[in-house]
Structures are given as C-alpha cells and as structure tokens.
Chain A
Amino acid sequence: MEKVAIIGVGQTKYERDKKETFAELVFEATSKALEDAGISKDDVDNIVSVSSDFWDGRTISSMAISDASNAYGKDITTVEGDGTFGVLYGMMRILSGSFGVTIVCAHHKGTESNMRGITNCAFDPLVERKLGIDAISSAALQARRYMNRYGVHEEQLALVSVKNHKNAMRNPLALLPMDISVEDVMNSRKIADPLKLLDCSPVTDGACTLVLAAEREAKRLSTSKKRVWLKGTGHCSDAFRLGDRDLSDTRALKDAAKRAYTMAGISDPRKEIAVAEVYDAFSHMELMWLEGLGFCEDGAAGEQMERGVFNSDGKLPVNPSGGRLSSHPVQVAGLAAMAECALQLRGEAEDRQLEDPQTALVHGINGMCGQSHCVWILGK
C-alpha cells in the first residue's frame, strides 16, 4: 500500500468571540498550511472539508468555505464529524490513486453557537431529547458510572485538568493556559455532578488545515519540511442509545485501536508510542480513553495520572498541546491534535517539544460520550 504523508499544517489561534467569519478562519488556516508545506494552491487537487450545518447554523455549510478552502474548480467533499475522520477520508481518496495532494480543513465558531441546544439534537428526538440531556449532562452520567465502577476519585479527574491546562502554557495557540491546582478544579463551579467547570472543555473558535500527499507527490514537491507519515488508522462505533451501552466501557475504542495498531505494526503501544493526543472533552474521558487505547489496565489510569506517567516529563506525555480542555473547537479538535503530533514529530513544537519522539498517537471521537472513535498512528 502506498504511504501518505502530512506535508503541511496550519492553525489559527484558538480564541473566544473571534471577529472573522468561519470562512475567513478557514482561509487563514489553509493559507498557513500551504505556506508550511511550501507549495502553491495549484499543487492541490482535492479538498476534504470538515463542517456541520448545526454548528455553522447554515445548511450546506461546506458551500460557505468553497472559495476559502481553494475548492473552486476542484474535487471537494465534506465529512461531518471530528477532524480525524476528515483525515481518514483524505487518506482514502489518495490511496484510491485518484488524487495526489489533499487539503483537509475544519472550522468551528463555538461562540456563535448554542452548544446545549445543538448537542441535545444528537439524542433521540422522541424519547431522550425532552429530558434536556446534552453533551455535558450525558458526560456527567458517564463520569459517575466510570468512577463507581473502578473506584476513581474526583481528585484524579481533576489531575487531568491541572496537567492539560499547564501544558497549554507552552502552547501559544491555546485558549486556556492556566497554572491551577487540584483544589482549584475541585472548587470550581459545579456544572453537572460530578463534573465541575474545570473538568469541562471550553467553547472555542478556530480553524485547522492539514495538507496530505501521496508518497509519490511528497517526494516530488520540493520543501525543506520534514514529512510525517500516516502509519495506521482504525475507527469503530458503539451503540447509539446511552441505555444500550455501559458508558464506562470502551469496547469501540479498543476495536478502533486494535485496527490502527495492526495496520501500523505496533505490538506494544505502552513501549512504542512516544506521545499521544487523546480526546479530553471532559477530564474523565482522558482517563477512560487512555485505558481503551491500552496504555494501562481498565480503571488504572487515575492512579497512573497521580504518579505523573502522563505528564510532559512522564513516561507517556499525553496532550502536550493542552488538549481539548484548553481549546475545544469541535470538529477542528481532532485535526488540531494531528497538527500537534505532526509538529512534535518534526521537532518543531517549540517550548513544548518532547525529546525526539518517533511515533505518536492521535484519537478523535464522534457522538455523545464517545460513541465512535478514530485512532491514528503517526510516524517519522
């Protein structure tokens, strides 16, 4: 199978209340990604945009970013979901042999959206929506179930928030760089028991673009930038209704991770992965996903967090960018996580650069409480 590389990354700063339209954010990120790749827009032959009519408040929302994403006269399509799924479709299109250089772009203006209303619409319209359930209240149910099942404490959840906000202090693009303590998290306003304000990711605006290229194109296009290779991928979905799942179970993630590890030839992720960006929309999720990805036994991530295993100077640095807890532009988030790992592998992560990582893992989710997962292995 032909190899596919990330040859360029571009991101806006992640902020609240950005003045630009979402098309302008896409233009900024895409221009930066093309510049980073050292190629012109004419070298690109197709575009995968990642957008949602719900968050954009506009039907056929990809139409609004056609010009901004360089799609005029080109082959463009749209994935609705996390950016990691956009990269997946971009890679498929390249592997089909039909395309050489692909733009994958995602945008989000959370501060123009109604998060609770929009995520409420992800639930069954007849039975569940009327309960008023949304992304936060369902995540709270999941956190409680996870804590009860494995005896995890709220303080262990809080450690995730402390670590990620601290990591964000070294990321100039992050929305919420903060030096906080477990106590600060514990004392922050209760949002939905057991989740407190600092256990939850912030509403964020921003855009991210990656440029992907087939091996043949990556070699042809002259640039000094290092290539980062897409070595393995896997995605899988659990059942829809919360009542049909044990919310503390990570079977879909385990399946997705197994596919990605098999494809990348990884037999022991604990030894072979040097850095991971996992989808910490809420603090408890980082713990659950680390277990699902096989970095520790089920229920053991909290204890490992206490021992500092996942800190930037730990055995497996997790979310060096600051993660979703520090900036959470929905849909953009997984793409931004890929951008972070690409920069880490290129040795260009500036103040937060880890020591010569060789292999990185990126994880994205779709749906409520992480119903569907997409796992990526990136390598030098």
Chain B
Amino acid sequence: MGKRVGIIGVGQTHHAAKRLDASGVELISEAVTRALDDAQLTIKDIDAVVIGNMDHFENINYVDMWAIDGLGAFMKPVFKVTTGGTTGTTVGACGYYHAASGLFDVVLAVGWEKNSESDTQAAIATCANPTLERDPFAGAIGPLATEYSMYMKAYGATEEDSAIVAARDRNNALNNPYAHSRQAVTVEDVLNSPMLSYPVKFLDMCPRSDGSCAVIFASEEKARKLCPRPAWVHASVVRHDYTHFGDLEWTFMPTLERASAAAYKVAGITDPLNEFDVAELYIPCATCGVKWMDSLWFCDHGGAPDLIRKGTFHMDGQLPINPSGGVISTNPIGATGLIRIGEGAWQIMGKAGDRQVPGVEKALCTGFGGCSWSDVMILGADLP
C-alpha cells in the first residue's frame, strides 16, 4: 500500500486582474519561492515537480518545459497535468500521488494562469462539441445559468440566496491579502449588479485573474521531520460525467455527490456538516454555492437555501466556507483548485492569518471543471 502524505508548505502570488509586473514564469517563481519559504526548504530539497494550466489561455505549448526556470525544475523530474477548471486540484492530486507512490519524497505541485494574456471565454467555448453544443454552451456562464434556473424551479431557491453567498465570499476576501477582488458588498449590491445571463449577475460570477499557487507534498517520514504540523491528505477523489452537456443531470450535481461520498468513506466522515471545521470550495459562481451544498451531503436535495439563509456557512456559522473569499474573489484558473487545497492546508497548519478559523482539525477542498466534473480532497490535522 502507498505512503501517507502531508502538505508541508504553501505559497501563492498576490493575485490581480493584470500582473503587468511579472511574466508567467515570474508568477510561477513567486509562488514557488513563497512555498519553499513557508516550508523552510530550498529547491535542492525538492525531488519532483508537477505543473498545470490551460493551454489555450496563454498559448504556451509544453508549459512544463517552458516554466523550468520558474519551477526550479532544471535537471529534475517534471511533467504536466491539465483538466480544464479542475486543473488546480488535478495538480494537487498528482502531487499527492507522487509522494504516496513511494517514488518521490518531497514534491512541488504548481498551478498558474495569466488570464490577462488570454481570451478566456473564447478559449473555454472550444471545450464543447463543435457541431452540437458550442453555441448554447459557449463559455462558462451559460451552463451555470442553466443549472441554477432549473434548481430554482425545482426547489424554490431564489436569486437572493445566491446573492447571500456572493456577499459572504466577497466580504471574506477582505481578510485575505492574496485575493484579487477585495470589496465590501451587500446582498442588495449583488442583486443590483448587471445581469450576465439570467439568473447569474456580475457580482455572482468569478473574475479572471493572474496568479500562481504552489503546494509542497511530502511522504510521512519526511513530513514529520520537516513540518511541525503538516496537513495530512485523508482522501483524494475525482468523478467525471458524460462528454456532452445535454446528457447531464441539472438539478443536482451527480459528480460532486459521487466524489464526496467516496472521499467521505475513505476519510471516515459520516456527518460532514459537523465533522468539517472549514471548507474551501471551488464555487465558480455564487449560484453553485447554493445548489451544490445539497450534493456535498450537508442536507437533502433542496435543503441548501434554508442553510444559506441561516448563515450556516458564514465565518461565524457552523461550517465556514471560503474564508479566503473563494473563487468569485480570485480565479487564476489553473491555480484556482490548488489554492483551495493550499488554503485548506493553511487553515489546518494555523497559518491563515486574519481569515483563520480557530482550531481547524478537518478541511474539505473541492475542484470543479470540464463537463461538470468534481474533485474532492480532504485534509486533516491527524494522521489518516
């Protein structure tokens, strides 16, 4: 069987709409340097490197090769993984499997994106089948608007419910110095913001950011030696759906249900709402912050609006979600999922600064992308 693995260091850039001061490789270098500092390591301690982003955003072929200087991967083992929106969590999972396999002890996992150099929506549009689905499902907003419309109709959720989520995450970002968008907003501000595609409004939706994140994974023996309080990986699970949007289920999120159920089983979680102390979730749009709560087994189908209205997921609630401000505050796409893992790890390590939730023992991190795919990683302060 494989080795137990802990996260021993995390670094991220100060994310922004346009980081004109840095090239992509320099953004990567910034995150890597900070992760090494966080773990009190040097690049010589790194045994292997994995990187990911989305090709069509910056138009760099063989990113793993191009980024060698920023990664510190000269004359080291390195390769690239990429899965669209889930790329960041895919990179995190790949870092975990590197160390769990026993082939490498200390592994650097890096996600990045420089969206200011891209036409993000045009690039995303080409993920859909060119003859059947590229028109209705072009870009990220269309499918998300479709799924929340259907959820509202099925369960009586409202536009205000998603506005509560948007205001929550955006105000949380005020405590996160790395966040791209840091603005105090009210539920009314969200409801009054411009409509993008009914019922999704401007302040519901994630931005596109420039940024990078690096997370260092280590096998049990190394993690114990190098880090006073590693964030141990308790489970890493991915579930995919069909290829075509038209084949998908829209009123709940089957992949998130399956991935989280499988991960909870591995990690021995039976009552997620009570057992997790914090969650960093890939919520690309505030509407998902309503609907997808059902699929994380926090409640029955249709139960999410009630939990949202009660403030269950606010910083002072039962299970704080996205203390970092989440994806709707910061979205360097290839790094976004890895930031969830990095933020979850920092919460367990007690390094989350002003956004620290007290006494975190277990953290839930997720990734979202592709054709409604879900990634789940569970982190804990105790050995798995």
Contact = CB atoms under 8 A, between A and B. Distances in A.
B349 interface: no
Contact of A93 (B1, B63, B97): B97
Given A60-B54, A63-B84, A79-B81, A96 B100 contact: yes
Nearest to B123: A59
A265 interface: no
Interface string A47-61: 000001110011110
A237 B78 contact: yes
Contacts, number: 188
A76 B238 CA distance: 7
Interface in B2-24: 2-3
A49 to B, nearest CB: 9
B242 A72 contact: yes
Contact of A53 (B54, B90, B93, B370): B54
Interface stretch (A33-41, A121-129, A275-283, A313-321): A121-129
Contacts of B67: 240
B267 interface: no
B201 to A, nearest CB: 25
Contacts of B56: 53, 59
Contact of A57 (B77, B126, B242): B126
B240 A234 contact: no
Contacts of B124: 59
Interface string A245-258: 00000011001100
B325 to A, nearest CB: 25
Given A59-B55, A80-B81, A259-B77, 20 more contacts: A54-B61, A58-B127, A59-B127, A60-B84, A63-B243, A63-B370, A67-B242, A78-B82, A79-B79, A81-B64, A85-B79, A92-B100, A94-B101, A95-B100, A122-B66, A237-B78, A240-B65, A240-B68, A366-B62, A366-B79
A118 B61 contact: yes
Contacts of A344: none
Contacts of B98: 92
Given A95-B100, A371-B65, A60 B243 contact: no
B239 interface: yes
Contacts of B348: none
A125 B83 CA distance: 23
16 contacts: A60-B370, A67-B243, A75-B239, A77-B94, A80-B80, A80-B81, A81-B64, A92-B98, A96-B2, A96-B101, A98-B2, A119-B61, A124-B66, A125-B59, A237-B65, A239-B74
B231 interface: no
Interface of A: 1-2, 23, 52-54, 57-60, 62-68, 71-81, 85, 88-89, 91-98, 118-119, 121-122, 124-125, 233-240, 251-252, 255-256, 259, 366-368, 371-372, 374
B236 interface: yes
Given A77-B93, A89-B79, A366-B65, A97 B238 contact: no
B360 to A, nearest CB: 25
Interface string B11-39: 00000000000000000000000000000
A73 B239 contact: yes
A60 B83 contact: yes
Interface residues of B, number: 59
A79 B64 CA distance: 11
A122 B62 contact: yes
A74 B55 contact: no
Which 7 A-B pairs give the minimum distances between C-beta atoms? A60-B84, A367-B65, A96-B100, A96-B2, A95-B101, A97-B2, A53-B55
Contact of A96 (B61, B74, B97): B97
Contact of A74 (B69, B78, B79, B240): B240
B127 A60 contact: yes
Nearest to B235: A98
B261 to A, nearest CB: 12
Given A92-B103, A122-B66, A53 B2 contact: no
Contacts of B85: 60
A115 B240 CA distance: 31
Interface string B116-149: 0000000111110110000000000000000000
A89 B81 contact: yes
Nearest to B23: A126
Given A60-B54, A60-B370, A93-B97, A122 B236 contact: no
A161 to B, nearest CB: 26
B73 interface: yes
B68 A239 contact: yes
A324 B127 CA distance: 29
A77 B83 contact: yes
Nearest to A119: B61
Contacts of A71: 240
Contact of B236 (A95, A98, A237): A98
Contact of B371 (A66, A89, A234, A371): A66
